[in-house]
Structure 1
Amino acid sequence: MNVENKRSQLCAMSFLPLPDAEVRNVPGSDKLQVHGTWVFIDVSSGEWKESREEVGKPVEQELKATVTDTSSSMESQLRTLFSVDGLLLIGLTNEEKKVIGTDEFPVHVSMERGGDPAKLTLSFKRSSPEPAKVLESF
């Protein structure tokens, strides 16, 4: 995956609500330091895309993930979790782990129920001033 055109299958996902996160971000750096408790989301499949048309222009980011546990408790838990903006930690099939969002530009995840059999689709599409970054603990 290169910086100019990113496309990879998503195989793991966690979310950290911004109010529960301590973030150290240096704009322009490819690393992001985050402290907080990530909430694991059991996704069955997903896709992550990130591309930049020109250097200095916003990065286009798009995520779509499927959760097959459609129980009322899971749906309620996810609605509560995504009621606030936050950071997403994704694991990709090429073994990279990336954080999407920063303290200044958090992610807002939408959720939709549909299909037969039923599934929950988590998604967002946005322009971001910074690409996804490598997670660093502190």
Structure 2
Amino acid sequence: MSNKESKRSSICGAEIIACAECDVISIPGNSNISVSGVWEKLDFSSVEFSEKPTSDSSSYDVSIDFSFSDTSHDNYIHLMTWCNIYVLIKLVYSDGSVKVVGSPDFPVSLQINNDGSPAKFHLTYSGQQPEPSKYL
């Protein structure tokens, strides 16, 4: 049986869905969430995700950065479709656990940028959430 809190687990997959295209059941204080709809796989090169309680423990500072090595114009246009709209992000961990970042009341809004050598696209989010990401 896998430990959902394992510190050795890493993100091995991610999917995304627009809030407008899904139905969600999320009860405040419950560590689980239910999302129905069609998720789209993100083919990222790497991802960095952090989630830490704020200094007063009233919310969580959340940061996510997906890196994409495909810097083609077509990929840029595709990634742009996920920017500046409200989305939920599903993170799949190597220990089998699955978490969802965001909720209908506190969705994620991604931004895109391009940097590095070699160049990479980045889809990023940084903000505060009232609860930690929930298990799907």
Q: Which residue of 2 aligns with 1:99?
A: 100
Secondary structure of 1:83's counterpart equals coil
Q: Which residue of 1 aligns with 2:65?
A: 64
Query: Runs of 4 or more off by more than 6 Å in structure 1?
Result: none
Distance 2:9 2:66 in 1: 12
Please show how residues 44-55 of structure 1 align to structure 2 within 5 Å: 44-53=45-54
Higher strand share goes to which structure? Answer: 1
What amino acid is aligned across from residue 27 of structure 1 in structure 2? P
Distance 2:82 2:75 in 1: 10
Does the 8 A contact of 1:9 with 1:48 survive in 2? no
Q: Unaligned 5+ residue runs, structure 2?
A: none
Q: Unaligned 5+ residue runs, structure 1?
A: none
* Aligned-residue CA RMSD (Å): 2.1
Secondary structure of 1:27's counterpart equals coil
| Pairing 1:14–2:15 present | yes
The Cα shift of 1:123 comes to 1.1
Does the 8 A contact of 2:82 with 2:110 survive in 1? no
Please show how residues 2-41 of structure 1 align to structure 2 within 5 Å: 9-41=10-42
Does the 8 A contact of 1:7 with 1:49 survive in 2? no
Identical-pair percentage: 28
| Pairing 1:110–2:79 present | no
What amino acid is aligned across from residue 131 of structure 1 in structure 2? P
Q: Which residue of 1 aligns with 2:80?
A: 79
Structure 1's 61 and 13: CA in aligned 2 closer, same or farther, altered over 3 A? same
Q: Which moved more, 1:77-86 or 1:54-63?
A: 54-63
Distance 2:76 2:8 in 1: 28
Number of residue-to-residue matches in the alignment: 132
Secondary structure of 1:19's counterpart equals helix
The Cα shift of 1:12 comes to 1.5
1:96-136 CA-partner distances (Å, limit 9, x unpaired): 3110000111001111012221211111111111110011x
